[in-house]
Amino acid sequence: MEKCPKHVVHFIHAFLDGEITNEDEQVMNEHLKICEECRETFEELRQTVTLMKGVGIVEAPPGFVNGVTARLPKQTIKKGPSKWFRQHPFMVAAAMFLLLMSASFFSSFENEQQFSFTKQPNLVVEGETVVVPAGETVVGDLVVKNGDLRIEGEVDGNVTVIRGSKYMASTAVITGSSEEINEIFDWLWYKMKSMAKEVIPASKDPKLENE
């Protein structure tokens, strides 16, 4: 077969695959007429195919279906949520984000039990109470966590007391806004506001500008 053109072998296979063009089939037939070796190969291949197709059908033994049923796992297959998750990866990511974010909000509310406050030079600390002494002016915002705040002097900025109380002497002046946060939702709101302020530094409380 080496001496025969290689494409004839391709034609034979294309013929057996039922994919030969009429022209190629003619070329093949011309060659098969003159070349005994190729003709033999062709006949053998054709016979092989015929024999294979003729091996007949085997059927599954009786009881096959019951065998499958018996082997199926008892619980119903996984469906619903997991499929929905797979089809909506974005929603899952968004939900996870919210969940984790809120978890960090809550845990930071619950866990931060330590007394802390914004460091300003003229503050006085008595136990867990931060005092703005009379006649002093604190410039800048003041945040007190897990402690009380007593204002006798002046605060030139916003005042926030988280889980604590704020006492104002008659002489007290706060130029900014002031708030006390004791509930978790206040806390959340506060966190969101301070985050927004970080992102958009220019945003100010409109009330502030009115004053």
Partner 1 sequence: MDELINKRVKEVLHGNQEAFEEIVIHFQHRLYQVCYRMLNNAAEAEDIAQEAFVRAYVNLETYDQKRKFSTWLYRIATNLCIDRIRKKKPDYYLDATIPGTEGLDMYSQLAAVQKLPEEEVEKMEMKDRIQYEVNRLPDKYRTIIILRYMEDLQLQEIADILEMPLGTVKTRVHRGREALRQQMGSM
By beta-carbon proximity to partner 1, the closer residue of 68 and 100 is 68
Per CB under 8 A, does 69 bind partner 1?
yes
CB distance 152 to 172 below 8 Å: yes
Per CB under 8 A, does 60 bind partner 1?
yes
CB of 93 to partner 1, least distance (A): 21
Quick one: which of 117, 139, 136, 142 has its CA closest to 128?
A: 117
From 2, 34, 77, 207, residue interacting with partner 1 (rule: CB under 8 A): 77
Instruction: Tokens 């409109």: give the residue.
Output: 206
C-alpha torsion sign, points 195, 196, 201, 204: negative
Per CB under 8 A, does 209 bind partner 1?
no
Per CB under 8 A, does 57 bind partner 1?
yes
Binding residues (CB under 8 A) for partner 1: these are 13, 16-17, 41, 44-45, 47-49, 51-53, 55-61, 64-65, 67-69, 71-73, 76-79, 82-83
